Amino acid sequence: MSAEDPGAASGTVSAHEIVQAVAAGTVRARDVVDAALARADQVQAATNAFTELLPERARAAADRLDAARAAGTALPPLAGVPFVAKANLCVEGVATTAGSAILADFRPPYDATVIARLEAAGAILIGMGNMDEFGMGSSSESSAHGPVRNPWNDARVAGGSSGGPAVAVAAGVVPLALGTDTGGSVRQPAAFCGVLGFKPTYGTLSRHGVIAYGSSLDQVGVLARGALDVGLVMDALVGKDANDATTVEVPPTFAAAAREGGDGRLAGVRVGVVPELSGAGNDPAVARALDETVQRLRHAGAEVSEVHVPSAQAAVACYYLIASAEASSNLARYDGMITGVRVGDDAEGQEAVMTASRGARFGTEVRRRVLMGTFALSAGHVDAWYGRALQVRRKVANELQAAFEQVDLLLTPTVPTAAFRLGERLDDPLAMYLGDVDTCLANLAGVGGISVPAGRDQDGLPLAAQLLAPALQDGRLLRAAAVLARGDEPRIAPVGAIEGTA
């Protein structure tokens, strides 16, 4: 990276390279941010990845850092690195819509802890990433801001619900982004866009200031193009938060774990392939990518064997029950009274206004989830639906725990297919839901998972594989991801249609 070419500086290089260049004075934080914003404009026109860009806020932060450096002040660890935040992470004074028309007016009076910590580490927020409304979706088509397009092929979805953040990283706007993952929303769009997507163990990252979807499942995650960058962000974010009682004290050893993988070796590491998830039901290209990942793990010295998770296929039904039940409760607050846009005539009475506000401002998918969740929790049905789902959840978690007594990591596809066509699943919610079969296990069990790129299909679309680790052993994921990182494929999405593949 050089001062003459900061255009290449923002996203096309890694966060750790930007940190070094800014600290050494070869480039100004301001130049990095200007380049990121210029690229963001192009990418926005082609993909709709952002709900809002924040040029003034970002430039002011960059100028403060450049002034601090000029004054000889020591710079924080991620100084000058531009990033994007999913639009469900509260940023003081910035529209945080969670992709919903009911939050069109919401400008939070405080920052989410993850935003405050990343900015305190010197990273610079340049924009808010578009997403499925309230995180409910697997394609980023259910946003009040319009659908997000895949940067490798604009006829395809970006994945969801963190589609905007994934596009921003894949298309070289920024080297890293924050998303949230309730059932796969960081890992699945990462897979569709060809970047890394990491969901740590439940409780690792604070959810203070994260707009809640399913509180027993929600976790903040990181999207980046390299494992070391994921590690650097994690080290800046971890640590107990008095504002989120679910957080645990996790040491900042993630970058070190990623560096360990720099030697390309995984000697003695035991990896289990899950037959229940690796067979029929996957596209042939996904199955091939999984086989190739097995070969690469073996080549690095890992011992790969089969490990059964007998109830794996039941997880997705159980996930949708629990997630919808929790969503119906969390979304009850959006009633146009204190929270959410108010629609209708106050003279009609409170209930009429609440009904009008929710009816007018929630999208189709959110309404479907609220109805499903309310039904599953209603008296007379709660034992048969929600209660059963909790039992299946426990069973899946126990089976994963038993699997981790035999192996250090599990390997599965991230998604059974590559990015599907825009519109293809909008009228078929079941097909949309079934795409989460591989990712939702980690959320149900509370363990960490990472999606790593694994080549391309015949149309040039990214493929991916997922690794899972036991609770609080997330360093293993970053080490293995660093080993699997491929140096031989195009890293930055060109944005737009790949010729002849639409």
Site for ligand GLN, rule CB under 6 A: 135-138, 161, 181-185, 213, 323, 436
> Minimum distance between the CB of residue 185 and ligand GLN, rounded to whole angstroms?
3
Q: What CA–CA distance (Å, rounded) separates 224 from 243?
A: 27
Residue tagged 């499942």 (tokens): 217
Single out the residue of 28, 244, 202 nearest to residue 117, CA to CA. Answer: 244
- At residue 466, the 3 state secondary structure works out as strand
The active-site residue out of 10, 14, 162, 185 is 185
* Tokens standing for residue 159: 């994945």
The active-site residue out of 138, 140, 143, 161 is 161
- The length of the chain in residues reads 502
Phi, psi of 453 (to 5 degrees): -60, 145
395 annotated active-site: no
In this complex, which beta carbon is closest to ligand GLN, that of residue 184 or of residue 336? 184
Q: How far apart are the first and last CA of the chain?
A: 34
Paired strand residues for 250: none
Distance set, CA 354 to CA 97, 264, 372 (Å): 19, 57, 19
138 annotated active-site: no
In this complex, which beta carbon is closest to ligand GLN, that of residue 214 or of residue 470? 214
> Minimum distance between the CB of residue 388 and ligand GLN, rounded to whole angstroms?
19
Q: What angle do CA 446, 450, 456 make, to 5 degrees?
A: 145
Query: Does residue 100 have a cis bond before it (omega within 30 degrees)?
Result: no
Q: What CA–CA distance (Å, rounded) separates 161 from 86?
A: 9
> Minimum distance between the CB of residue 98 and ligand GLN, rounded to whole angstroms?
10
In this complex, which beta carbon is closest to ligand GLN, that of residue 96 or of residue 185? 185
In this complex, which beta carbon is closest to ligand GLN, that of residue 137 or of residue 194? 137
206 annotated active-site: no
> Minimum distance between the CB of residue 407 and ligand GLN, rounded to whole angstroms?
25
> Minimum distance between the CB of residue 303 and ligand GLN, rounded to whole angstroms?
31
In this complex, which beta carbon is closest to ligand GLN, that of residue 161 or of residue 466? 161
Q: What CA–CA distance (Å, rounded) separates 339 from 332?
A: 10
> Minimum distance between the CB of residue 177 and ligand GLN, rounded to whole angstroms?
15
In this complex, which beta carbon is closest to ligand GLN, that of residue 213 or of residue 362? 213
* Tokens standing for residue 338: 């204190």
Q: What CA–CA distance (Å, rounded) separates 332 from 327?
A: 8
Q: Which residues are marked as active site?
A: 86, 161, 185
